[in-house]
Amino acid sequence: MENHANQSPAIPKWSALLIEAVTKPGLIMKAYSVFHAYSIGNQLLALVQCQRRGLQPGPINTFPKWKDLGRFVKRGERALTLCMPITCKRHDEDSDEENTFTSFVYKARWFVLAQTDGQELEPLTIPDWDAERAIKTLNIERVPFDHTDGNVQGFARKRQIAINPLAQLPYKTLFHELAHVILHTSEGDFTDTETTPRTLCEVEAESVALLCCESLGLEGAEYCRGYIQNWMSRGSASKGDAIPEKSAQKTFRAADQIIRAGRAEVPESHF
């Protein structure tokens, strides 16, 4: 998601998409319900393009994939743009070796169901999601909650998390602490009271919690939304820059990891 060099001006930045998701309740849930095979960033990208063009959101596939499914793209339809990873090779002068690395490019290759015609499709099913499976797959350990301060909702230490058994929004706190492990605990421990300083790390963790709660339809999204909006309104930056682009990218990536880790089966690889 780093490379914006090939991006057309019509494609919003990740920070702008995240702010859309924060300010429009229901957007993430809608995107997940139809585009869950794709990363959250691409789900929102697809949904925003559908809305701008007045297209009914639905399954998306490339031209050849629609053909395989017995459908064809209608004449004159313009493809939607998604961000896809590509593997690049770089020649290392010193060791004389070929190194591979992943880069991200924007390609206009996808068409939504409403842009196609032909054979009926099987109805979409939303994959099951399980918290314990997610924790295990992420190689994170849930440890007993041993804080005596009742205001502490949860904490993250290296690859361990603990959630207060009396946490007001246990799923929200779980996602928040998982995000700290994925994004931050190499920088130190995180103990989350109700009055944790509102640093950028907290906004990133709370944004991950928002994306996960709303995608999966679990309680807590409204609380996250309030927290992030409050933080944004206190920033001196203009609204559009309130969440740095790099933080938005980290947030989308961590939320994807958590959601994919909790699914029963990994669907064919989508990005």
Give the tokens for residue 166: 């009396």
Are 166 and 140 spatial neighbours (Cβ–Cβ below 8 Å)? no
| Binding of Zn ion by 205 (CB under 5 A) | yes
Angle at 258 between CA 20 and CA 218, to 5 degrees: 65
User: Maximum CA pair distance of the chain?
Assistant: 65
**Three-state SS at 84:** strand
Q: Closest distance between Zn ion and the C-beta of residue 148, in Å?
A: 19
Q: Which is nearer to Zn ion, 29 or 200 (CB)?
A: 200
Q: Closest distance between Zn ion and the C-beta of residue 210, in Å?
A: 13
| Binding of Zn ion by 214 (CB under 5 A) | no
Q: Closest distance between Zn ion and the C-beta of residue 86, in Å?
A: 34
Position closest to Zn ion via CB:
192
Q: Which is nearer to Zn ion, 48 or 179 (CB)?
A: 179
Chain positions 183 to 202 lying near Zn ion, rule: CB under 5 A, are 190, 192, 202
Are 44 and 248 spatial neighbours (Cβ–Cβ below 8 Å)? no
Question: Residue 100 forms beta bridges with which residues?
Answer: 89
| Binding of Zn ion by 178 (CB under 5 A) | no
- Label residue 144 exposed, middle or buried (CB < 10 Å: 0-12, 13-18, 19+): exposed
Q: Which is nearer to Zn ion, 45 or 182 (CB)?
A: 182
Q: Closest distance between Zn ion and the C-beta of residue 187, in Å?
A: 12
Q: Which residues bind Zn ion (CB under 5 A)?
A: 190, 192, 202, 205
